[in-house]
Amino acid sequence: MESSQIEALLEAAFPDCTIAVEGGDGKFMVSAVGDVFDGLNAVKRQQAVYGVLNEHIRSGAIHAVTMRLSTPAEQATSAS
């Protein structure tokens, strides 16, 4: 599975998020910023993303995923 395919899946599931996916050979880094994560702790945020990717993880197309998931406010705070 290519990073662009994962990016497309996540963009369809989270249309109001800014999403970037890097990596290959089954190992990927997902960065997503969106209001959809507001009020969710880190585990709930990851569960939302895993819900989209789970089928591909079970099939072995995705072996490992590292995630950076934040709201726009959190992103702005970390950028300053």
Q: For 51-76, what is each residue's pLDDT tens digit?
A: 999 999 999 999 999 999 999 999 99
**Has residue 78 been placed in a domain?**
no
**Has residue 49 been placed in a domain?**
yes
For 75, phi then psi, to 5°, come to -65, -45
Residue 11: pLDDT above 80? Answer: yes
- Residue in the block written with tokens 């999403």: 19
Q: pTM of this prediction?
A: 0.90
14: left (phi over 0), alpha (psi -120 to 50) or beta: beta
Domain extent at residue 60: 3-72
Q: Where residue 79 falls among pLDDT bands split at 50, 70, 90?
A: confident
CATH code for position 16: 3.30.300.90
**Has residue 52 been placed in a domain?**
yes
Question: What does the pLDDT look like over 15-57, one tens digit per residue?
Answer: 999 999 999 999 999 999 999 999 999 999 999 999 999 999 9
